[in-house]
Amino acid sequence: MKTITTVLVVFMCYVVNFGQNILPPVSSSITATPYDSHCALVWNPVKNAVNYAVFSDYLANGESESLGRTHANYFLHFPQGKNTSYLYHVEAFDQNGNMIWESPQVRGGTKNASDDELLDMVQQYTLRYFWDFAHPSSGMAYERSNGAPAEGKVTIGGSGMGVMALLSGVERGFISRENAYDRILRIVGFLEKAPRFKGMWAHWYNGDTGTVMSFSEKDNGGDVVESAFMMQGLLCARQFFSSAKELSLRQRITRLWEDMDWDFYTQGQNVIYWHYSPDYGFEMNHPIRGYNEALIVYILAAASPTHPIRADVYNQGWASWDQKEFSNYSVYYNMMLPLGNQRWLGGPLFFAHYSYLGLCPKGLRDRYADYWQQNVRQVLINRAYCMDNPYNWVGYGAGFWGITACDMVPEGYMAHMPGYWFDTGTVAPTAALSSMPYTPEFSMDVLKNLYRNYGKECFGGFGFYDAINFSVGDMPVKKNYIAIDQAPIMVMIENYRTGLLWRLFMQDNDVRKGLSSLDFKIDNAPVSFSSQKN
């Protein structure tokens, strides 16, 4: 079984963000694992060490080259050239700058890797965000790597996507089924105790206390979209853990699922509202209309075994033809796009990812669109726009495309999308990599380019960093991670390779009932379902 490299960044999180001295005694253990374009050095944390210096040692003259310093107990070395071999050693320093430990030498380097091995590597590294870096007591995913751990801020939507990442990790052999089960059981325990609002969770919680952390002044209650992302993951887990001894988890997920009052969030109208606050009611007044990332909300709302919506809520609220953000049918780069914002070429690419982590678009259609066609074309149009590069951003091309919501470079956050104002030259690796099922060859072009040519700057302990803008000279890469950007990479690559999450979600009987009630078809046939309870 392949395993996630020992401990890694979780120790850096504790030391840097919490200042706790929980490291074990010094050990001389150090490993050097070769990958296609980098060597991963990992060593046991050293007690009282505040940073480490990493060196490559020349065999001929005994001299050493400093490769850099790190607070973590790992270092990724991207050497020049392929198939290189090095001797490495690491030195540990205390807060006074005194060297308190020196590792033995270890030999390592790089190796040629196949496409499958590159995908293994990306999935393995990306999974660490949800395994090594998860909140220690709740098991939930931090909102982001910078800032959120110190605040204890965990995310509902990102954690639901992270559940699917964990299932993918079992499929890959990175973690055991038993360990994934225990982690998801811990997450479910947190979700059961966290305040809910007619069965829906808030956007953010404090992972230590379980209290709501407001997203904005009036957004301190139920968030139906984030809750849908969570339940999409939990329903996959309910299918995955199917043995008799795993019955308790399935039952607890079912109770959470049946508690979700989707109909309450319509306020008796033919549309679902995004937010409800115990203090402000529905004052946010955000109806979920038009085509965006929230198709999964309406699918789950129709699928609910206890509080389902009527088909009119879907057809008049979300999908009505008179919604300017819904129907598109414009032609971009010789491709007609059925749905999405016309001005912004369909919108950011996460529209093709978030709802489809579990909902399989292959053969899926209703009266409005063929959803495989919709997603493939949105990705191809996004790529074609970057190839066209109307604003002459540096680097845009076959190996550097994909515009979606992510951090801005150097500062800020934006739902980037094609077109004036929303295209700032920033590309998010999650955009192309999460599109792997739709455009595998083109997505691999981005993976190989960013990893092989820019890996030293763009690739870290949890995989590809969140945002890159080569037009910003001094700080071209935002070196942090966001849960809702990392999880789709892991999950959609797995859907491309095995269809795991698509298969799990689409075999759920409640989901199939919901699709049938909204007149969806799969491969031009009505969606079948059992009359029996899940």
Burial status of residue 479 (CB atoms within 10 A of its CB: 0-12, 13-18, 19 or more): middle
**Looking at the domain assignment, is residue 400 inside a domain?**
yes
* Three-state secondary structure of 368-405: CCEHHHHHHHHHHHHHHHHHHCCCCCCCCECCECCCCE
Specify whether the CB–CB gap between 162 and 134 falls below 8 A: yes
| Distance of alpha carbon 1 from alpha carbon 110, whole angstroms | 21
What local confidence, expressed as pLDDT, does residue 531 receive? 79
The mean per-residue pLDDT over the stretch 55-63 comes to 76
What local confidence, expressed as pLDDT, does residue 323 receive? 81
pLDDT band with cut points at 50, 70 and 90 for residue 340? very high
Domain CATH number, residue 449 = 1.50.10.140
| Distance of alpha carbon 219 from alpha carbon 278, whole angstroms | 10
Residue with tokens 């992510």: 406
From the list 171, 142, 156, 234, the residue with the least C-alpha distance to 201 is 156
Pick the last residue of a domain from 112, 129, 147: 112
- Residue at 143: amino acid letter: E
Q: What is the DSSP letter of 357?
A: T
Specify whether the CB–CB gap between 355 and 367 falls below 8 A: no
Pick the last residue of a domain from 94, 112, 130: 112
Other CB atoms within a 10 A radius of the CB of residue 293 amount to 23
SS3 call for 442: helix
| Distance of alpha carbon 34 from alpha carbon 304, whole angstroms | 48
What local confidence, expressed as pLDDT, does residue 28 receive? 52
**Looking at the domain assignment, is residue 416 inside a domain?**
yes
**Looking at the domain assignment, is residue 232 inside a domain?**
yes
Asked whether residue 245 carries a pLDDT value surpassing 60, the answer given is yes
Co-location of 19 and 162 in the same domain: no
Other CB atoms within a 10 A radius of the CB of residue 530 amount to 9
Co-location of 70 and 135 in the same domain: no
Per-residue pLDDT tens over the stretch 115-140: 999 999 999 999 999 999 999 999 99
**Looking at the domain assignment, is residue 149 inside a domain?**
yes
* Three-state secondary structure of 142-172: ECECCCHHHHCEEEHHHHHHHHHHHHHHHHH
Domain hosting residue 91, numbered range: 9-112
Other CB atoms within a 10 A radius of the CB of residue 348 amount to 28
Strand partners, 53: 69, 91
Co-location of 140 and 221 in the same domain: yes
Co-location of 221 and 92 in the same domain: no
Output the CA angle 75-401-167, nearest 5 degrees: 60
Domain CATH number, residue 92 = 2.60.40.10
- How many domains in the chain? 2
Taking each helix axis from N to C terminus, what angle separates 156-172 and 115-131, rounded to the nearest 10 degrees?
A: 130
**Looking at the domain assignment, is residue 239 inside a domain?**
yes
Q: State the Cα torsion 261-262-266-270 to the nearest 10°.
A: -140
Co-location of 360 and 461 in the same domain: yes
What local confidence, expressed as pLDDT, does residue 80 receive? 84
Co-location of 83 and 161 in the same domain: no
List the single range of 58-62, 249-253, 346-350, 415-419 with lowest mean pLDDT.
58-62
What local confidence, expressed as pLDDT, does residue 320 receive? 79
**Looking at the domain assignment, is residue 14 inside a domain?**
yes
Co-location of 31 and 142 in the same domain: no
DSSP code string of 472-527:
SSS--EE---BHHHHHHHHHHHHHHHT-HHHHHHHT-HHHHHHHHHTT-EETTEEP
Mean pLDDT of the chain: 93
SS3 call for 450: helix
Co-location of 226 and 318 in the same domain: yes
**Looking at the domain assignment, is residue 144 inside a domain?**
yes
List the single range of 32-46, 53-67, 236-250 with lowest mean pLDDT.
53-67
Q: Spell out the residues 6+ positions from residue 342 whose beta carbon is closer than 8 angstroms to its own.
A: 324, 328, 330
The mean per-residue pLDDT over the stretch 450-458 comes to 97
Pick the last residue of a domain from 52, 81, 112: 112
The mean per-residue pLDDT over the stretch 325-351 comes to 96
Per-residue pLDDT tens over the stretch 61-117: 667 899 999 999 999 999 987 777 899 999 999 999 999 999 999 999 999 999 999
- Considering Cα of 136, then 142, then 145, then 146, what sign does the dihedral take? negative
Specify whether the CB–CB gap between 475 and 61 falls below 8 A: no
Cis previous bond, 410, omega within 30:
yes
What local confidence, expressed as pLDDT, does residue 295 receive? 98
Per-residue pLDDT tens over the stretch 277-335: 999 999 999 999 999 999 999 999 999 999 999 999 999 999 977 788 999 999 999 99
Co-location of 73 and 128 in the same domain: no
Q: Per the confidence metrics, is the pTM higher than 0.85? A: yes
pLDDT band with cut points at 50, 70 and 90 for residue 59? low
| Distance of alpha carbon 95 from alpha carbon 468, whole angstroms | 33
Exposed e or buried b per residue across 15-31, where buried means at least 16 C-beta atoms within 10 angstroms of its C-beta: bebeeeeebeebeeebe
Co-location of 135 and 249 in the same domain: yes
Asked whether residue 3 carries a pLDDT value surpassing 60, the answer given is no
**Looking at the domain assignment, is residue 532 inside a domain?**
no
Taking each helix axis from N to C terminus, what angle separates 247-259 and 177-193, rounded to the nearest 10 degrees?
A: 30
Co-location of 92 and 240 in the same domain: no
Co-location of 96 and 175 in the same domain: no
Burial status of residue 366 (CB atoms within 10 A of its CB: 0-12, 13-18, 19 or more): middle
Is residue 97 left, alpha or beta, with left meaning phi > 0 and alpha meaning psi from -120 to 50?
A: left
